[in-house]
Amino acid sequence: MELQFDTSVQFVKGIGPKLGDFLRSRGIERVQDLLEYYPRAYEDRRAVCHIQSLVPDQLVSLKAHIHKVRSMPMGKSNRRIWEVVVADSTGRIACKYFRMPYKGYFERFEPFQEVRVIGKVTHYRGTMEFHHPDIHPTAQDEVNENSLVPIYAAIEGLTSSKISRLLKTLLTQSIPETLPAWIREKYALLSLDPALKQIHQPPVELGDQFLSFSSPAQRRVIFDEFFTLELHLALKKAGLEKERSTPIAARGLWSEALKNNLTFRLTQAQLRAFQEITLDLQKPHPMHRLVQGDVGSGKTLVALMAAAFAAEGGVQTALMVPTELLADQHFHNAEKYLRPLGIGVGLLTSQTKSKERATLLGDLGAGRVQLLIGTHALIQDDVEFHNLGLVVIDEQHRFGVEQRNRLKCKGLSPHFLVMTATPIPRTLAMTVYGDLDVSVIDEMPLGRQPIVTRKTFQSKRNLIASFVTAQLKKGRQAYFVYPLIEESETLELKNALEEFEQVTKEFAGFKVGLLHGRMKAAEKDDVMGRFRAGEIQILVSTTVIEVGVDVPNATLMVIEHAERFGLSQLHQLRGRVGRGEHKSFCILVLGYALSDEATQRAEIMERTSDGFKIAEADLEMRGPGEFLGTRQSGLPGFKMANLVRDVRILQEARAAAFALIERDPTLSQAEHSELQVRLEQVMKTWVG
């Protein structure tokens, strides 16, 4: 009997309506969802493991007995750390939990009870321990030690072994194939039926391959996950190439005049990106291009040159940015560079007053405003362009797919340019932006000095204060960045509101300002304006300053609790300094509860200022979903595939998907009907 992927999970033997409702509430609605609830790891029972023999970063399964269970307060907060100490004949080890897996988890354990512990060994403050391992009482029927046991992510009230038993019933039936035979043959892929059965019931002789995610069964599933996404991107790209647009007919005289008016030389990377953009703008189908470049690499200037090219060709440009501060900065730059060329520039945000807004929208509708810069205000219904030909999205990962499309729909197939200051490793760009052409600005402007970055600790506060004072006395300005706006009951971290008072006392001879996300836009603009003008010497802030406001005289950044920030965010914050002629510094102040990963992030920041190298490291440490933000980017949460580990399979899947669309652009052939259905199902959960 052949399985039906679409069958409701409640009809699987052993489930029924009640458990079916429970599984649906956890996202497992159909037979296919249950089949794709893959083991998160495999418990290797082929070799006996003892506590004394454990080494860091080792994923292990060991039998032990409960020594004690206790909970401890976490600092001054109301949060608690739970600790289960287990022992065997060779020693003891602590299993720590910084959050409770589910209610009643720890009440299951009693002293001397035999349990099995499955998890990764962590070296923390000179001691071996487990963080959030799987602990369960040894089963009475646990007789086969020479085996590889699949471990599933725990669902409250449903153990890993129960999930395994439910799947065992399903796997007695045959599983339908989804990939065409020619793709399976070309890439030597296992059929789906044996692949899924082996993943849930791994043969012990392939144990090492399964533990390293290199078995033929895992390779097939990983290929499928990448292939489905790449098929979506291939279809999207093919559709874009069919879309018709009016070529922008311009000779480039206005953009050349802009370039000639500059007091500095553009980098070769900027010139190359601009040339790629203008070639696209002259084609009969709309441009869909991504410009990625490091913080301060000059992407905005390239966008303004593109706007000048568009204006010369008689069409308008919309530039949408995520914050009002950034919109204001871009507007001032556009006025400086484009007004002398006779190009009308407008600024539209939520702070634009009614009368001024009405005048602006009138000029926009009449075509007198050729470049409109703004925030989400640009996508409001009453914002109508005369002839929108170019849409530019800055820091595009901060906007949802729908927001980007709403702006694009204000023109008739306008050209589309997205920019990001988060350098994206090539492997990730292939997945998230596989339907876009990519321009890379990989050079910094001439004369830009590298930022000296050093990590230090709270205990060195006096030395930090002395260094900051010395810089301020030279006439420089400084940022102090904090992870929180105000005190938290659950987190023992410094916060901007309290530290503003402290910094004001500590640096009594200097003017200190405060900036955070809860302030009204007018207040933020006022503070930032005074900081930019030099009236404020120290700006105490949250990460609201992360995106793009230039203050060339700010040469020092102190990031408190730097361990709380990801690599890309640290790099973005650091990019706020080093934008002028003076040597700049970034001090990463680390707290006391440090993980090995937090220390590693700080060391990477000390070693390099290359955003692309930092992005590669960040992707490897955090994984792709967290790296960009799955929902905002449309990036799927892969169930087994890993963009770092499986890059070769990704490349094969991409080649296969684009080859398939060349053969069958609409997936209308009979052998591709299953793919069409699967793609529609998967896209419902991917693109937001």
User: What are residue 351's phi and psi, to 5 degrees?
Assistant: -90, -5
Say whether pTM exceeds 0.75: no
In this predicted structure, the answer to whether residue 633 has a pLDDT above a threshold of 50 is no
In this predicted structure, the answer to whether residue 636 has a pLDDT above a threshold of 80 is no
Q: Bigger pLDDT: 681 or 96?
A: 96
Instruction: Give me the residue spans of the domains in the chain.
Output: 1-44+155-176, 47-145, 178-192+199-242+654-688, 253-441, 452-608
- Ranking 36-45, 117-126, 219-228, 625-634 by mean pLDDT, the lowest is 625-634
pLDDT, tens only, 150-159: 888 767 667 7
pLDDT, tens only, 561-608: 888 888 888 888 898 888 888 899 999 998 866 677 888 889 999 998
Q: How far apart are the first and last CA of the chain?
A: 36
What is the length of the chain?
A: 688
pLDDT (0 to 100) of residue 519? 81
pLDDT (0 to 100) of residue 490? 47
Q: Bigger pLDDT: 216 or 140?
A: 216
CATH architecture of 253-441: 3-Layer(aba) Sandwich (3.40)
As a whole number of angstroms, the distance between CA 202 and CA 207 comes to 7
As a whole number of angstroms, the distance between CA 435 and CA 233 comes to 5
Percentage, residues of the chain above pLDDT 70: 89
Nearest to 657 by CA among 681, 642, 678: 678
Within this chain, domains 47-145 and 253-441 share the same CATH topology: no
Q: In sequence order, what E strands does 74-126 have? A: 80-88, 91-97, 114-124
pLDDT (0 to 100) of residue 304? 96
CATH architecture of 1-44+155-176: Orthogonal Bundle (1.10)
State the pLDDT confidence band at 100, using cuts at 50, 70 and 90.
confident
pLDDT (0 to 100) of residue 632? 39
pLDDT (0 to 100) of residue 406? 83
User: What are residue 415's phi and psi, to 5 degrees?
Assistant: -70, 150
Q: Bigger pLDDT: 309 or 231?
A: 309
Mean pLDDT throughout 92-103? Answer: 86
What ranges in 207-298 are assigned the alpha helix state H?
Answer: 207-211, 216-242, 253-261, 268-281
- Ranking 234-238, 309-313, 489-493, 585-589 by mean pLDDT, the lowest is 489-493
Mean pLDDT throughout 356-383? Answer: 93
As a whole number of angstroms, the distance between CA 106 and CA 99 comes to 11
pLDDT (0 to 100) of residue 455? 92
As a whole number of angstroms, the distance between CA 29 and CA 13 comes to 15
Fold of 452-608: Rossmann fold (3.40.50)
Which string of b and e fits 268-289 if b means at least 16 CB within 10 Å?
A: ebbebbbebbbebbeeeebbbb
pLDDT (0 to 100) of residue 87? 95
User: Most confidently modeled of 181-195, 437-451, 644-658?
Assistant: 181-195
What would the two tokens of residue 306 be?
């593109």
Q: Bigger pLDDT: 334 or 551?
A: 334
pLDDT (0 to 100) of residue 144? 54
CATH architecture of 47-145: Beta Barrel (2.40)
Mean pLDDT throughout 152-181? Answer: 83
Mean pLDDT throughout 390-400? Answer: 76
Rg (CA), the chain: 29
As a whole number of angstroms, the distance between CA 32 and CA 225 comes to 13
Bridge partner list, 372: 318, 346
Q: Bigger pLDDT: 663 or 236?
A: 663
- Ranking 138-147, 308-317, 496-505 by mean pLDDT, the lowest is 138-147
Mean pLDDT throughout 217-239? Answer: 89
What would the two tokens of residue 532 be?
């930019």
Residues in contact with 603: Cβ distance below 8 Å, sequence separation at least 6, in sequence order: 455
In this predicted structure, the answer to whether residue 247 has a pLDDT above a threshold of 80 is yes
pLDDT, tens only, 65-76: 999 999 888 766
Across the chain, mean pLDDT equals 84
Mean pLDDT throughout 440-465? Answer: 86
